Each structure stands twice: as C-alpha cells, then as structure tokens.
C-alpha cells in the first residue's frame, strides 16, 4: 500500500513543489492549509479586539494552495490554529518586546504550530509521515538528525532548531536536496499555479505591512532619548521596541561638526531610563562580544553532551557560522566565541552546528565582552 503523507500547503512555490515531488515518488498525498492569524481584526495583549485591522493575505494563499492541489489531484483540507498561535507564538512575541529583546517568532511557530499543533491534527488522517516545504533535511534513525538544506542561501535549520527528535521522527522535507532555482524550474516545467509567485517576506502574521505601526497596536510607544555612551543626547527614539542591536536605519541622526558624518548604529538599550544608546561606525567596539549565556535550551539528540563541545554557531539567520566552545556552568549554558562576534542580540536564537548537522540551540539571554555585561 502507498505510504500516506500529510503536507503543509502554504500557497507558496516551495510547498507546491514539495507536494509535486511526493506525488511523483508515489506517496498518497493529503494537503493541509493552516490559518494562524485572524486577519479580520487585531487584538491587544489582553485579547481585546482593536479597530486597527491589519489584513494578512491568507485567503489568497489558500486559493493558491487549492489551485495547486487541484492541479496535482490531491485533496486539500483547512484548519484553524488561531488560538494556539495567539497563545504560544504571538504572546511570546509581544512579551519579548516588552523586555526590550528582539524575538524570533518563526522559531516558535515551527515549534508549537507547524510541528506540534499541525502534527496533532494530521493524526486525523492516520499518516505515515508529515511534510513541509522547508529547505532542510532529516536523517531518520533511532534518533532523527536535522541537516542543513543543500541551498546554503535558503537553509532553514536555524528556524527549526527548537524541534525535538520526536517531532522530526516522521517528517519529510522534499525540497531539502534542491536549490531554490531548481524548485522554480520544477514549478514552471509542471505549470504549477504558484511557479512565478514571489516568496513571502516578513513575519507570517504581519505580512508585507509597516512593522512599527503594527507593533504600536499592541505596545504603547514611549518616546525617549537617543544618547551616546558618553551621555551626549543626539535625538529622540520612537520606542525602544522599534530598535535592535546593530540597527542603522530609522535613527534620524545626521552629521554634525562634533561627530562628523560617519553613520550611527544602535549599540545598547536601557529600559529603566528608556534610553537608546548609539555609536558611530559599523565596527563600533561595543557591537562586538565574546561570550553569551543561553536559556530555553533544546538539544535535538537528547544523548548529546554539550559541555566543552567545540562547534560552530549562528546568532542570526543570515550570519556565517562562528567557531565557538559550549560550556555548562552552574546549570547554565555558556557560549564562548573563538573571535569577537558583531551584534549578538538578546532574544535571538543561538543555533549550534557540527558540519552539516544542526544540533539545536537556545535563546540568547545575556551578552558579555571581557566579562562585562553589555548594555543590551
């Protein structure tokens, strides 16, 4: 009998081609479209409706997914995870900004929605596997291994780093062995309706909208001072939540006789004073750190010992691998960098790799330089 696969259909080209590949390999394929955000209204942090509705193009995505499934002759079902998304992803997103940190909701979406709520719902169809259109690979065995996607520019293991080996045990990533250009070519050659659809950008529930305006619906913006580390006041910020470490855009600081025209970058925040610290130059010394402490640790292989492990790490999605040593000290996971790293930011993920294998990771809690906690 054919093996049955339930695949997450997003209405994009990646999941479309993933479904095509599964069909070509002889699987019985069932499509499942997730609706994670109630686009008819916004809600504040208490869950109360607001009038500032921000429309996410989910309905168009669903129609695109439906056209692809009709083309491939596979059924498509639809499921709402709005409450789960609000509880497990969006509240985390808001609470992190309240702490002055920079969250990564895509990681939480994978952990709690795509590979938890989705998998639970998929059991209704009694599948052998579930599948997603991620650029990643899985090696199945006694303990599942997560490997980088072949296309280094599209690899999504950074966003999958909070998954457990149990969550990965029956997962397929059909396009993980392909380059993005090959995915597009397959879609065009098979006349898939999404072949020329552009990739989605930004956070899924926000869509391609003005981010700061969206965030202001949920957190009151508190105007404050922009200051150098020496205490010179250079201007006003529009709310600390709108800035992240290493940011250049949106500061509104021009050249001056005292400081010249070298660009300014965010180098720190003080929540108590509601103050944003800036420094000049992309390589400002305060942007570099040599150590961080993590929380919310996830190790994909539960038998792996992290203590004194030499590996590489990514502190941001697009960042190159950085050589590090992991140490477990006083029940905390510390990461020591072989070379100083720029703009390591609390709230972001630190993800570990041994070659092609993603080991897991954690959330950056504290960042230090020469044993001094940086003002993040």
Indicate which residue of 109, 311, 350, 358 is catalytic: 109
Angle at 368 (CA atoms; ends 364, 372), nearest 5 degrees: 150
Closest CA to 206 of 314, 89, 298, 46: 89
* C-alpha dihedral sign at 210, 213, 219, 222: positive
Q: Under a CB-based contact definition with an 8 Å cutoff, are residues 234 and 260 in contact?
A: no
Closest CA to 136 of 165, 158, 111: 158
204 part of the active site: yes
Helices and strands (H, E) in the chain, number of each type:
9, 20
Supply 176's token pair.
Answer: 């993980």
Closest CA to 163 of 85, 106, 123, 110: 110
Q: Coil, strand or helix: which one is 2? A: coil
* C-alpha dihedral sign at 243, 280, 339, 371: negative
CA–CA distance, 293 with 51 (Å, rounded to integer): 40
Q: Under a CB-based contact definition with an 8 Å cutoff, are residues 337 and 310 in contact?
A: no
109 part of the active site: yes
Indicate which residue of 204, 311, 350, 358 is catalytic: 204
The 10 Å CB-count burial string (b at 16+, else e) for 176-204 is bebbbeebbebbeebebbbbebeeeeebb
Closest CA to 322 of 295, 347, 298, 289: 289
Q: Which residues are catalytic?
A: 109, 204
């Amino acid at each position: 009998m054919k093996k049955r696969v339930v695949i997450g259909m997003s209405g994009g080209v990646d999941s479309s081609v993933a479904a095509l590949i599964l069909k070509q390999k002889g699987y019985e394929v069932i499509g499942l479209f997730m609706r994670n955000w109630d686009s008819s209204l916004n809600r504040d942090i208490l869950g109360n409706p607001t009038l500032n509705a921000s429309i996410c193009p989910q309905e168009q995505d669903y129609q695109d997914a439906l056209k692809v499934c009709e083309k491939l002759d596979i059924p498509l079902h639809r499921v709402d995870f709005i409450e789960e998304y609000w509880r497990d992803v969006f509240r985390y997103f808001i609470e992190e900004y309240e702490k002055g940190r920079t969250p990564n909701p895509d990681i939480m979406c994978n952990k709690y929605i795509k590979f938890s709520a989705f998998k639970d719902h998929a059991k209704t169809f009694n599948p052998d596997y579930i599948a997603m259109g991620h650029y990643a690979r899985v090696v199945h065995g006694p303990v599942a291994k997560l490997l980088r996607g072949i296309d280094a520019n599209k690899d999504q293991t950074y966003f999958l780093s909070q998954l457990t080996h149990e969550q990965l045990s029956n997962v397929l990533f059909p396009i993980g062995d392909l380059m993005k250009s090959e995915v597009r070519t397959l879609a065009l050659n098979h006349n898939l309706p999404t072949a020329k659809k552009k990739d989605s950008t930004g956070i899924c529930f926000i869509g391609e909208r003005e981010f700061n305006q969206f965030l202001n619906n949920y957190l009151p913006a508190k105007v404050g001072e922009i200051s150098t580390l020496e205490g010179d006041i250079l201007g006003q910020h529009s709310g600390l939540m709108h800035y992240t470490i290493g940011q250049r855009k949106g500061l509104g600081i021009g050249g001056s006789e005292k400081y010249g025209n070298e660009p300014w970058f965010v180098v720190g925040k003080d929540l108590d004073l509601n103050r944003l610290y800036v420094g000049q130059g992309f390589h400002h010394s305060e942007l570099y750190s040599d150590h961080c402490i993590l929380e919310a640790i996830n190790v994909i292989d539960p038998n792996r010992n992290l203590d004194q492990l030499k590996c590489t790490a990514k502190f941001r999605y697009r960042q190159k691998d950085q050589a590090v040593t992991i140490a477990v000290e006083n029940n905390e996971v510390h990461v020591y960098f072989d070379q100083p790293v720029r703009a390591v930011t609390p709230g972001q993920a630190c993800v570990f790799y041994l070659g092609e294998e993603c080991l897991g990771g954690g959330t950056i809690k504290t960042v230090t330089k020469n044993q001094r906690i940086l003002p993040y």
